[in-house]
Structures are given as C-alpha cells and as structure tokens.
Structure 1
Amino acid sequence: MHFLTQDLSFPNTNESTPDGLLAIGGDLSTERLLLAYESGIFPWFEEGEPIMWWSPRQRMVLFLEELIVSHSMRNIINKNIFQVTFNKAFREVIQNCQAIKREGQYGTWITDEMIESYCKLNELGKAISVEVWQNDTLVGGLYGVDMFPVFCGESMFSKLSNASKMAFISLVNYLKTNQYNLLDCQIYNDHLDSLGCREIPRGEFLSILKKNTSAV
C-alpha cells in the first residue's frame, strides 16, 4: 500500500490491490485531482476516513455509440417532461448527490471537502454538471471531470423517476456533439449496465485515456 506525501505523484496503477485501491493520503488540491484523472485514478472515501485513491482492474465505461435508450425513455424525452441545462447549478447538483439516500449505502462518499474541491474544478472549466428540472425545480442531475475527449463521470442523483437517466442521456448527446470519445463511469452497477455501459480491462482504459488526453 502506498501512502502519499506532499509530492505531487502517484504510484503505477499496476501496483493497486485486487479491489483497485492504489494509495492513501495526499490532498484534494486541483493539481492532484487533475493528475489523478489524467492517470486513470479517482478518489473515493467516506467522511472520517483518509483520502483513498482507486484504479480498478475493470473499468466501467460507455462507448458513446453504444448508449441504450429504451422505448419508454424515448417517449419521456419526446413529451418534454424535463428541462435540461449544463453548468447552471453545479454546487446544487453535487450537494444533492451527497444528500440523496442510496439503496445499500448508509452514508455518502462525497465529503464537504470534496464538494469544495470539485466546485473549484468547475470554476476552472474542468468539471461539468448536468441539471434536470421540472417546473423550475431541480429533480435530477450529474457531474464529472472534463478530460476532453474523455469525460469522467462522478455521481448522479434523481428525485423523480427517470430524471437521472435524462441527465445521463443528455450528457451523452452533448459528448457526441462536441467530439468526445469516451464516458468513464468508474465502477459497475446495474443501472449503468442498462444504459449500455460495459467493463473493459484497466490497461485498455488507460491506453484510450493516454491516447486521447495526449492530444489535448
């Protein structure tokens, strides 16, 4: 296990544990976060724990052309039930992601420190939020880190059925329009699987990430 110091560096991702834990410690400075995402690493820990950095052996991603939109979801989109914006309420989105109750979880991994760090990334144009509204009320959304042409999704929330799907689909359409190549979703879950995401080996993900971001 690697313990980070003030030195702005990470160990090789191949040195992670079987479950993907790579390092502990360091900070959530803008510089370290950007270096982490450039390297295929992300922070994930709970309040009261040290900062933990992860690089899973299997990476959940969406190749944009593989997005699955169900017939029922297409009907919802066509009915204009929701209104979608980008970067209009970044702090509200991440705060809702922190507060929303999730099945099988007793707390949140989005700490107050993380909120401030990602809001700084947003101010620098390196983090993006998608907001879903109904009657001027925020009912869903997501946020992530922009490593063009790879977008690194972080978290989403939904207060109404299908609101988070609407945010996800809107994000993918935005990424397609703006010539992104890949959406990083980090870790498998059934919801992402239903939308067309799939796991690929870490080495393949890092190759795509390095190829894409090297052109930025």
Structure 2
Amino acid sequence: NFRDVLIGLGMYPDPAAVMGSEGAGVVVEVGPGVTDLAPGDRVLGMFEPAFAPEVIATRDLVAKIPAGWSFAQAASVPVVFLTAYYALRDLAGLRSGESVLIHNGAGGVGMAAIQLARHWGATVHATASPGKWGVLRELGVAEERIASSRTTEFEQTFGAATGGAGVDVVLDALAGEFVDASLRLLPRGGRFVEMGKADVRDAETVAAGHPGVTYRAFDLNEAGHRRIGEMLTRAARPVR
C-alpha cells in the first residue's frame, strides 16, 4: 500500500503510524464470540501490523475471500476499495447518473474508485500521468474524459467535455493550484472529498469561495469498525 511507502520515506504525517495495514491469510483460531468464521477459512482484511506470519484480527475488519482469488489479489483489496467506497458512497453520496472527477486514477484508490463509480452508474473523468493513461482506458474511462495529473490543463479538458457543466463530485489527493482548478469544476455546486494530507482546506472557506460546494477531508478510520466491516463484505462480494 502507498501509505507504507510514505511511512518508509518518513513522509507520512502521523509519526506513530505502523507499516502494514492490510493482508490476507487463513484463520487458525477464533474467539468465543465468533460464529461465522472457522479455522481454515480464507480471509482478507485490515490488520496492524500486517507484516507478520500470524496476526490477531478484529472480526469486523475481515471478510471471506471470494472463490478464485489468490492471497495476493485479496491482500490488495481492503484499504484501496474501503477508502474509495467510503469517500464516494458515504461522504459524497455518489449516485447513478452523476459525474465524478477521480484524480490519480491509475493509483490504487483511483482504480478502485473508477470501478466502483462505473458500477454505480456514474460518469467518470480521471487524471493520471500520460504514461498511465492506458490503465484508465482499460478501466473503461472514455478518451475525452482522460487528462494529465501533472498540469492543471484538466480543468479546460473536462470543462470542454462537459460543456461547462463540470462534475458533481471530486475525489482529490492533490494540492495547491490543482485543488483550486478542481474546485472550479464544481460550478453548479457539488461535493469535494479530500483524501490527501498535504493541502487540507477549511470547509467554510471553500463554501464561501465556491457556493454550493461541500468540502470534506477524511481518514478511513473515522468510519468505525462496524461500517468498515460492512463495506469490506460488500467489496469482497462477487458482482452478478
């Protein structure tokens, strides 16, 4: 997970953060209150620390691995899909027929967010470095709704693609002028969800400068164990 990279580089804002927050494995023992899992079950979930041959997990933070998934695939799901799910569904209330701008769409959370948004019937606009645009195309993002995350030209690109209407939701992890350009893509009001840590804005100041825009910075842990467990179960449920 990219969080681990930031911790390893000494760039994560919480100096007490521990590397390793997700994983997958086989249940070896369950507590007396756990009745829906048994030794031998394959599970994925959030553990801290996860870099260990054996960990103790909270029941709410694990779910069964779908048939056909490898442990490596399962271990890559929890943090990115939970973050994307919580941001887009719980905080932004993204609905079918709406449009969303997903920054860093070729990153872990970005790819998860694109898949979820399209699954829910939303129109996706996404940014990534030009060398990674192929990833966005493979995820089903239309050519005219792809732009670079290296410059603020995405504002003009997406403004033109929407006829000046902009989008309904922005999922952001950028900073500085990129945030300002993204806010201007909400000319009709909307929801701006900030998962980055480098440039957190004041919600009232944003609302004053951009009428109708709701700004929300967040951290996944604020969702609480029960909600995280619900989202994790849904994320690991095969799509039919």
Give the structure with the higher percent strand: 1
Give the number of the structure whose alpha-carbon radius of gyration is greater.
Answer: 2
Query: Which gives a bigger RCO, structure 1 or 2 (Cα 8 Å, sep 6+)?
Result: 1
